[in-house]
A = this chain, B = another copy of it.
Amino acid sequence: MLQNSIITMLSDFGDRDVYVGVMKGVIAQINPYLSVIDLTHQIPPQNLAAARFCLMNACPYFPAGTVHVAVVDPGVGGQRISLAVEFVNGFLVGPDNGIFSGVLSQTPAIAAVVLNNPLYWRSAPSNTFHGRDIFAPVAAHLASGVALKQLGQEIDPATLVSLALRECTPSSTGINGCIQYIDHFGNLITNIPQSYVLDKTWYVEVAGVSIPGHQTYSDMPTGSAIALIGSHGWVEIAINGGNAELQLQLKLGDELRVKI
């Protein structure tokens, strides 16, 4: 049995209930030698776009073979398919609702299966908590060396659900984008990748204000707005020593433009 293989968990379960702990118990019942790492359980309830973004930014930093379980699952118990996907850096386990479409846009799927082999589930799964009854046990078996194709019927990865998200669009006057994520510090993360601004002089126009592009927070005085390339490779707006969301009064989806 493989030891110290890694399973990550991402969900909208929050931290006040025992849902996450119970999933870890189910994993330990199958293989107590696995390591479980929490990505976050504070995805806003049923917010697939935030889940997709977080998972996409985290997956590259894990060892090959890591199994990522993601449970933001408004359709649980209904018609949506349960999935396991193999990609170049490991495996993805969760509902087929687009939650994996960010990871798979960066590192395409190698193979995918529908989780229809109950041999790898808990017996008598509920209709409301597939995280515990299907995804956690399947992940534990995958991380313990069970082959993907044992878990269910193969499907064409091209048929997986993809989230329709706004993408940034270059125009003659700059790159038009929007705020796709706001982090704990109030940093405003746009949907404009770093490739547009690397090695250039650039600034962001948002809500009638121009914000200069720099290298790091402390390139501007404390309390000043700054644009920079954030740690996951997106153009980001921050306040040195402050909270850009509060101070600039901007919110998810607000539009902006990068100018070179």
Contact = CB atoms under 8 A, between A and B. Distances in A.
Contact of A218 (B19, B22, B26, B78): B78
A22 B61 contact: yes
Contact of A32 (B22, B35, B132): B35
A67 interface: no
This chain's copy number in the assembly: 3
Contacts of A259: none
A165 to B, nearest CB: 18
Interface string A235-252: 000001101000000000
Interface stretch (A38-46, A108-116, A150-158, A166-174): A38-46
Contact of A40 (B21, B127, B230): B21
Interface residues of A, number: 69
Interface in A15-30: 15-22, 24-26, 28-29
Nearest to A133: B231
Contact of A127 (B25, B26, B132, B215): B215
Contacts of A21: 8, 37-40, 58
A63 interface: yes
Contact of A4 (B32, B38, B229): B32
A216 B16 contact: no
B37 A25 contact: yes
A74 interface: yes
Given A29-B62, A38-B21, A127-B228, A184 B218 contact: no
A188 interface: no
Q: Which of A24, A26, A43 has the most CB of B within 10 A?
A: A24
12 contacts: A4-B33, A17-B183, A22-B57, A25-B58, A26-B61, A36-B37, A61-B132, A74-B218, A74-B240, A75-B218, A77-B219, A128-B228
Interface of A: 4-6, 8, 10, 12-22, 24-26, 28-29, 32-33, 35-43, 45-46, 54-55, 57-58, 61-63, 66, 74-79, 126-129, 132-133, 183-185, 215-219, 228-231, 240-241, 243
